[in-house]
Amino acid sequence: MTSEDKQLIDVARQARQHAYAPYSHYRVGAAVRTRNGRIFSGVNIENAAYPTSICAERVALFKAISEGEREFDAIAVVTENGGSPCGSCRQVLAEFGLHIRVLIADTQGQQIRETTVAELLPEAFTSTFLQ
């Protein structure tokens, strides 16, 4: 693991502390790194009306996008048991690049898996289908 990847996982681990998960108690932290090295963190935020909840991965991405970023290198996802991004998060990640590396780690900061969006979402629906 590179020092940059360790830093990304550490940011996701620290962010996880701020997750709002009173229903599932499944706290998730995420951190996305842009191609120019900026890092944005996010946490899952639950709601009593379950469909209105949002995942940590999308929070991190949306924060970066709202700041003008469009090119991403990697995202780290930290959960207690190494859970993988959900289908909605995979689709949002695919919008910005199938090449994006996905680092999955536990709460101790141990990387469990490294993959890409393309591997997580084979045959992704992308903008190429809309041309």
Closest by CA to 7, choosing from 43, 36, 35, 31, is 31
From 4, 46, 57, 123, the catalytic residue: 57
Strand partners, 39: 33
Q: Is 57 a catalytic residue?
A: yes
Q: Report CA-CA distances (Å) from 58 to 26, 30, 40, 63, 78.
A: 16, 9, 11, 8, 14
Which residues form the catalytic set? 57
